[in-house]
Amino acid sequence: MGGRKLDDFTEKDTEVLVRIVKSAQARSVKGSKGEWKDFLKSSKQLRVGPSDPAKRPWSTLVEFVHTFTDDADIQMVKQIRASEMRHKRLEALESGGLWRNSPEQELVRQTYQHRRYKEYYTFPSFDKGWVLTDSKKAEGQSVTEHMISLDCEMVDCDNKTKGLVRVCAIDAEYKLLVDMLVKPERPVIDYLTPITGISEADLTDVTCSFYEAQTAVLKLLNSDTILVGHSLHNDLKALKIDHPRLIDTSFLFQFRNKPDCYNAGLNSLCKAILGYEFREDGKPHDCVIDATIPMRIVHHVLKHGIEGSIDIPAKMLDEGQLCKLYFHGIPPPVSVHDLQKLIPHDCPCDLDDISWSNVKYGTTYAVFRNIDDANKTFERLKGPVGEDSFGRPQKTVMVTVQSKKKKAQRILVRIMVLYLQRGGKYLRMLSLLIRKPHVLVATMLKRSQF
């Protein structure tokens, strides 16, 4: 069965064949002649040579793949090939050779060309449960290009997994296409109600399965569909959908007063682009609104374009608050002693006891002698810079836990800092903010220099 369905490989497919065989090795796939090494031993001719698939002729790899008889193994091969086709189509997209040119398509191309696209959007689309959409337009098919904006809400489940609990989709005219509450597949550890707005009671009578939610979204997608969203990779991971034609609003803009690796939160971006905040501090997410705002931002860009870098202002805080770092998302094994090891010796601080008001994650503050020490510590912490749901800068940091035989745990560290970027280096503006506000104002009026 495998041979009849997989007989169209050529030498040009060598790279994907290597990937298929290595995946088969990792999964201990057995064909009619056993696993990969068993297959090599089955023939005197094949016994000679390295076992590394990358060092074998493509014809040998094809011969092994053709021994697959299990439907799941054949499906794995098809999905890996489909994933490879996706990457080739994206290369065609980058060169403008797949879909027609349009203002919307230019934003798709801009998303694809973002330096972090491959990091965020290389999905395990050949894994069980994932669906790779067909992005190839049939010959002679008319162009009916349309945009759909998507947002999902997730909760924390056991085994450190995420569970989909709500999905919303709207079209370019802001018509609600999908709004579904979803029953998580695994036991829920934390409903994250302050963020998701969803409690255990909201899901008590929900019967919609993950598969039903995934299917509802897939029905909206074809080769002419452009998916829109903010940090859309999170939503696609939640749905296990790999759709290559998309616009990520977090990838469209450059920020004058933030590090290169910074991605603005949706609320902050809405304020900067559309002129208003759609969510008050401390308010939970609304899935419908979170799907609507990215579409409004895209419409704004299509109408007005993007002119230079934009500013995401920091919140004004008193000096006492600015001398602190906020540690949160702390898992139970982590102690104050473990956190103390993250603090540089030349920046002493007082670490409060960890508060466990949330049964899963703890929080605490590190209080420094001055603002500069807080800034230095934050800069020296190793980890990617992002922001929380309210636009405040934070890092994801790994901390070694002494009680777990030095096993590393992930935590979040937030600081209240205003950064202006100049020549790749960050200027500390906090002292100006507190001590010389008139100098800060003059500096901000000359932002074009930065």
What is the CA 45 to chain-centroid distance, rounded? 46
Same domain? For 124 and 61 the reply is no
CA angle 313, 317, 318 (to 5 degrees): 150
- Give the mean pLDDT of 72-101: 72
- Residue 280's domain is classified under what CATH number? 3.30.420.10
* Same domain, residue pair 273 and 407: no
pTM of this structure: 0.61
Q: How far apart are CA 384 and CA 395, in angstroms?
A: 6
pLDDT bin (cut points 50, 70, 90) of residue 435 is: very low
- What's the rounded mean pLDDT across residues 57-64? 92
- Give how far the C-alpha of residue 213 lies from the chain's centroid of Cα atoms, to the nearest Å: 20
Give the 3-state secondary structure of residue 191. Answer: coil
115 and 86 fall within a common domain: no
Examine the domain organization and report whether 69 and 157 are in the same domain.
Answer: no
Single out the residue of 85, 79, 68 nearest to residue 25, CA to CA.
68
Residues 110 and 78 reside in one and the same domain: no
For residue 179, give the 3-state DSSP assignment. strand
In a domain, 428, yes or no: no
CA 259 to chain CA centroid, nearest Å: 18
- Does residue 137 belong to any structural domain of this protein? no
User: What pLDDT score was predicted for residue 127?
Assistant: 76
Q: Are 349 and 377 in contact (CB under 8 A)?
A: yes
Q: Is residue 439 part of a domain?
A: no
User: How many independent structural domains does the chain possess?
Assistant: 3
Does the pLDDT of residue 171 top 90, yes or no? yes
Classify residue 134: in a domain, yes or no: no
Mean pLDDT of 409-417: 83
Among 131, 132, 5, residue whose Cα is nearest residue 68 = 5
Domain that holds residue 43: 2-94
Nearest to 419 by CA among 258, 178, 307: 258
